[in-house]
Amino acid sequence: MSEESAEHILGDIQSPPLSKTAYVVQRIREEIRSGVIVPGEPLRQTDIAERYGVSATPVREALRLLSVDGTISYSPHRGATVRELSADAIRDLYLLRAEIEGLATALAVERMTEDGYYRRIAELHEDLAAMHGEGDAGEMSNRNRELHFAIYSGSSPIITSQVERMWAALPTRLTLWRVPEYAWELTRQHEGIVEAIGARDPELARARMREHILAAAKFREELSPRSMLWGC
């Protein structure tokens, strides 16, 4: 597959162009996140290669890399599958998210030099808030992700890449944004985070982001542990 073909498929997701292995890794992670590939589903190399328009070699290497970082698992009878997380593992994932995303937020505030960075965040928050009662849950979830990663973009590529891996660990086919009372509370918390960023207070921004992620974890636990909800 040519680089032009990969760019056409991914649109704005990739820049600069990815290697074929990196392209497959990113596609698989995105399909896990969006719920196209579900936990426990077999990952057949031939099917993936055909769907992505690549040979078996980059698919095999991509599955190896995803196995190393714990995204997928192998068993003699089932082959490669997306790892199914227990309730305890999901809880631990949220605890880790709270610390790392809080750190990313604090670093972004400390390193903030351009007014455009804050304006972009404020606009995304306002857009998401305006979607209550109008946008569907999937659209709100996508805008929520855009807001979070706009915040983390000002921190560190190393930290942001770790956050991306954690967000990719659970699908978004169901979301806390479909529950109105949760959606309103998450948006209220976003407002506090955005205010702290605007005030250039890294520790307050960090604390509010941490509280925000832990609140999402609490909301998730109030629902069925088997519902595979991804809060924010």
Q: Which of 65, 82, 99 delimits the end of a domain? A: 82
| Domain membership flag for residue 230 | no
- What residues make up the domain containing 39? 3-82
Whether residue 129 sits in one domain with residue 19: no
What would the pLDDT profile of 188-210 be if each residue is shown by its tens digit?
999 999 999 999 999 999 999 99
Query: What is the percent of the chain with per-residue pLDDT over 70, rounded to a whole number?
Result: 86
| Domain membership flag for residue 27 | yes
What would the pLDDT profile of 14-23 be if each residue is shown by its tens digit?
444 579 999 9
| Domain membership flag for residue 228 | no
Whether residue 137 sits in one domain with residue 51: no
CA distances from 183 to 90, 131, 153, 198 (A): 20, 10, 23, 22
| Domain membership flag for residue 203 | yes
Range from 65-79, 96-110, 157-171, 211-225 that averages highest in pLDDT: 96-110
Q: Tokens in use for 9?
A: 């498929």
Q: Tokens in use for 206?
A: 């960090």
Q: Tokens in use for 46?
A: 């031939």
Better-predicted residue by pLDDT, 150 or 81:
150
Residues 6+ apart with CB under 8 A from 87: 221, 225
Q: Tokens in use for 174?
A: 């169901």
Query: How much is the pLDDT for 71?
Result: 82
192: helix, strand or coil: helix
CATH number at residue 218: 1.20.120.530
Whether residue 206 sits in one domain with residue 102: yes
| Domain membership flag for residue 231 | no
What would the pLDDT profile of 163-174 be if each residue is shown by its tens digit?
988 887 766 556
Task: State how many domains the chain has.
Answer: 2
| Domain membership flag for residue 227 | no
Q: Tokens in use for 27?
A: 């596609």
Query: How much is the pLDDT for 159?
Result: 95
Whether residue 161 sits in one domain with residue 48: no
Query: How much is the pLDDT for 73?
Result: 84
Mean pLDDT of the chain: 84
Rounded Cα–Cα distance for residues 187 and 91 (Å): 22
Query: How much is the pLDDT for 70?
Result: 76
